[in-house]
Amino acid sequence: STQAETFEFQAESRRLLQLMVHAIYSNKDTFLRELVSNASDALDKLRLESFRDKDLEVDTSDLHILIETDRQNRTLTVRDNGIGMSRDEVQELIGTIAKSGTAELLQQLKETNDGAAARELIGQFGLGFYASFMVADRVTLLTRRAGENTGTRWESTGEGTYTLETVDEAPQGTAVTLHLKAEDQEDSLLDYTDSATITDIVKRYSDFISWPIRMEVEHTDSEGGTTRQLETINSMKALWARPKEEVAEQEYHEFYKHISHDWNTPLETIHLRAEGTIEYQALLFVPSVAPFDLFTRDHKRGVQLYVKRVFIMDDCEELLPEYLRFVKGVVDAQDLSLNVSREILQQDRQIQMMRRRLVKKVLSTVKDMMSQDPDRYAKFWDQFGQVVKEGLLNDVDNRDQILEIASFESTHDPENRTTLREYVERMKEGQDSIYYITGSSRSKVENSPHIEAFRDKGVEVLLLTDPVDEMWVESVPEFDGTPFRSIAKGQVDLDEKDEDGEDGERAQREQEFSGVLSWMTTKLADDVKEVRLSSRLSTSPACVVSDSNDMGPTLEKMYRAMGH
Ligand code: ADP
Ligand code: MG
């Protein structure tokens, strides 16, 4: 074996570690969930890789997780015979936090002095492997990647540096050993060398893990002596295959945390079972907080595909459209081949049918939330509304459903958003359109001259301020028979229609101003198409409007910025 080399943690990792070491998170038991979760992922990966790569020489006959405790030395080891890591992988995966959003997280933490808020932020981010440092003052990881001859030993006290050493002898897979903090150092610390404590924690957080989690469990016999016996301490039952009535909410939540790597409880759980021509089970979750990378290009979609209980792939894009990319979960299909590849999935009719059904189910779940729990729905829309609206552009089949579950800011209420249905119900007699204005912020559009006459006459206007709004209003003509109409485009004159005699008066005024209007039209010929007399203004003297067929100003700006 080689000499151990010392490395520095990347700055961002170091700061997160500091937070960990100083135990900012209150529920310390969760470290075990993170280690077991990583071990389970590693076993999934090995099974998959050995399946795809027949030349890989590995024994996959007894894939499992083993938890070992040592009272004397106060250590706890979580061992798996999964995929393992190469030296480079250890350095890349354990030495850095590669997750996007770390920088933003730390920035937000810096701005927060409130401990509870900081906890919440970290919880949202998830700490994975680093959670070990909540309970350990030294962590050793010994690993050998499947197919490689030498192993790697990583060790750190979580204080800025770690060491790496190449070792000749290492079992394939990964063993993480925690050198537990002294109990008196942290009064909230349980005895993690006690097999009953560990059994409890595993049952609480990791019961559904599909691999056996084994441990030597202590039993007291009738004569009062203790015996130790190797046992599997989790039930290994796939949660999604169990009947809904039998699954406790807590179990759903722990499962969500395992697959999503999010420490918050989900906002909504969807458990469905399809029988008949195509058989599958799905367990989907709507998170309560949007991940930091929801709008980055490489954001992963959260649905895992299983076939008959066997993990096939993460991030299965074919199962849900892009605009539902925040949904996490598992879909387990009965009739697909274990060999399926992404290429096959794209054309598979079964998958397409499943996708249609899942999309409808997610949308209808949101609709139910809207009627049954408006506060929860409001939370949902705060977090994911912008993404869902992308569906108005791309998913024409479900457009009506999406419009039904959408809500928008409007001049009706400065505090609460309105649904389109509510807007239509409030429409004045004679009003035939849903009026909207787009722009970059509520205050900007509220102060726009376009809105004056509408305000004066008490006509409600939707205030569309998300970038995506500018796009969908171009392609969605109406909601349930009522057309959308921009108040910043074309001729929107509120009076003409409903008030008799206006036309005559207007013609007279136009006559009166015709000289000025044609003079202005000539003067401004390079900049505008036409100068018109308007009844839409009450205090501003003039405003610029687009032609009905033109792009809105925000869209125009966007195209210009893109170089069109
Ligand atoms: P996450 O699981 O969210 O990716 P973690 O901090 O828990 O974040 O782990 C970081 C990465 O380290 C994992 O994605 C995985 O690639 C690697 N890793 C951690 N534990 C193991 C393990 N037991 N076997 C193989 N790889 C592991
Ligand atoms: Mg993890």
Pocket flag, ligand 1, residue 38 (CB < 6 Å): yes
Angle between helices 553-561 and 467-475 (to 10 degrees): 110
Residue 375 CA to residue 417 CA, distance in Å, equals 11
Pocket flag, ligand 1, residue 261 (CB < 6 Å): yes
Residue of the nearest CA to atom 7 in ligand 1? Answer: 128
Pocket flag, ligand 1, residue 42 (CB < 6 Å): yes
Residue of the nearest CA to atom 19 in ligand 1? Answer: 38
Closest-lying ligand to the alpha carbon of 176? 1
**Residue pair 75/69 in contact by the 8 Å Cβ criterion:** yes
DSSP, collapsed to helix, strand or coil, labels residue 333 as strand
Residue 329: closest CA among 269, 377, 384: 269
**Residue pair 320/358 in contact by the 8 Å Cβ criterion:** yes
Pocket flag, ligand 1, residue 82 (CB < 6 Å): yes
Q: What is the DSSP string of 142-181?
A: EEE-TT-S-EEEEEE-SSSEEEEEEES---SEEEEEEEEP
Chain centre to alpha carbon of residue 363: 16
CA 298 – ligand 1 centroid, Å:
19
CA 411 – ligand 2 centroid, Å:
46
Q: Kindly give, in sequence order, each residue whose CB lies less than 8 Å from that of residue 318, ignoring residues fewer than 6 positions away.
A: 342, 345, 346, 348, 351, 352, 355
Per-residue pLDDT of the chain (564 residues; tens, 9 = 90+): 678 999 988 777 777 777 666 645 567 888 898 899 999 999 999 998 998 888 888 989 999 999 999 999 999 999 999 999 999 999 888 866 545 556 666 676 666 666 666 666 665 565 678 889 889 999 999 999 999 999 999 999 988 899 999 999 999 999 999 999 986 555 556 899 999 999 999 998 899 899 999 999 988 888 888 888 999 999 998 999 999 999 999 999 999 998 888 888 999 999 999 988 889 999 999 999 998 778 876 677 789 999 888 888 888 889 999 999 999 999 999 888 777 778 888 888 899 999 999 999 999 999 999 999 999 999 999 999 999 999 999 999 999 999 999 999 999 999 999 999 999 999 988 999 999 999 999 988 988 888 988 988 899 999 999 999 999 999 999 999 999 999 987 666 665 544 444 556 667 777 777 777 777 778 777 777 777 777 666 666 676 666 665 665 555 665 555 544
DSSP, collapsed to helix, strand or coil, labels residue 255 as helix
CA 98 – ligand 2 centroid, Å:
12
Pocket flag, ligand 1, residue 76 (CB < 6 Å): no
CA 193 – ligand 1 centroid, Å:
23
Alpha carbon dihedral 47, 50, 52, 56, in 10-degree steps, equals 160
Residue 336 CA to residue 146 CA, distance in Å, equals 27
CA 94 – ligand 1 centroid, Å:
7
80 is in an annotated binding site: yes
552 is in an annotated binding site: no
